Amino acid sequence: MTRRLRALSGIKPTGTPHLGNYFGMIQPAIALQETHEAFYFVADYHALTTGRDPAVLRRASHEITATFLALGLDPAGAVFFRQSDVPEVLELAWQLACVTNMGLLQRAHAYKAALEKGDANELSAGTFFYPVLMASDILAYDSAVVPVGRDQLQHIEMAQDMAGHLNAAYGNVLRRPEALVRAEVPTVPGIDDRKMSKSYGNTIDIFLPSEKAFLKVVKQIKTDSKGVDEPKDPEVSTLVALYRLVASREQSDDMAARYRAGGYGYGHAKDALGKALEAHFGPARERYNALLARPDELDDVLAQGAKRARAVAREVVGRVREKVGLRALP
């Protein structure tokens, strides 16, 4: 039997996911468990660079775990764990830091973006060190592939560089990962026509409590001034674009035809979108809420995942310690 390639993805715990998160990352990540040996971690160490509320971090870690389980992750197959439950990743990050030059980190897109937003003296060392920890996340588990969008390729390239530096210094000890560039995912428009993003405040959360709640948000979607009887172009409609994500092909084609024919208003489209969102996410929401009500079970899933992940990380870090001259792990 051919052993499946190990794939790794990290998910930063930032609260309830929206449609952009779901179609851009969560849905393709869960699908990956069918074709790869999938390792997924809740990136709570990474969250410390921006968050200062421990209760919020703990809650968000449970929320993202419940989200993946509710949407179809199988913890008996995939390995789902909390980043901070595998402290070996921090040791490997230090080993990588010792062979990584400052110039590489100064070229990181995230660091340069942070510089543009404010005074360099206000940036934390954690923000600067972020790519090293991210590389350690990848390399600590002998990851073969890391699924990313094209705009995230630099993360994998930096991990490759760091693995190469350590291997050049001490011998072939770390596996060089490859990027698994995801097929182009749809750009999910927000309620203001810009790309859906929490930073814009234009999102539709996937676990809103009811069809009525979905419809309340959907009614805020911007439209032009065309009346009910006027024909409309479905290809430039945010409502149609969102509907296509959650409705069947037949339903989507029907809405597009009604747009072109006239006699179909934006109010009709909004009602249809609200119903489709509820139909798509309602059953998962019930599972999500039930899981959140049982935090001990979520912690058990994370602990079991961490046990499996840590066994791999200890073996990798053990190899590195031997190569660099440190004593074996106790």
Whether residue 138 contacts residue 156, with contact meaning beta carbons closer than 8 Å, is answered with yes
Q: Which entry of 195, 219, 226, 323 is annotated as an active-site residue?
A: 195
Rounded-to-integer distance, Cα 154 and Cα 157, Å = 5
Cα–Cα distances in angstroms (integers) from residue 132 to residues 105, 143, 154, 158, 196, in the given order: 8, 16, 12, 8, 29
Q: Which entry of 12, 112, 117, 212 is annotated as an active-site residue?
A: 117
Q: Is 146 left (phi over 0), alpha (psi -120 to 50) or beta?
A: beta
Rounded-to-integer distance, Cα 170 and Cα 322, Å = 10
| 117 is annotated as an active-site residue | yes
Q: Which entry of 12, 112, 198, 323 is annotated as an active-site residue?
A: 198
| 3-state SS assignment for residue 36 | coil
Which residues contact residue 184 at a Cβ distance below 8 angstroms, ignoring those fewer than 6 apart? none
State the CB neighbour count (10 A cutoff) for residue 325.
7
The encoded tokens of residue 170 equal 């001490």
Rounded-to-integer distance, Cα 88 and Cα 137, Å = 10
Whether residue 174 contacts residue 328, with contact meaning beta carbons closer than 8 Å, is answered with no
| 222 is annotated as an active-site residue | no
Rounded-to-integer distance, Cα 162 and Cα 275, Å = 49
Residues identified as active-site = 117, 195, 198
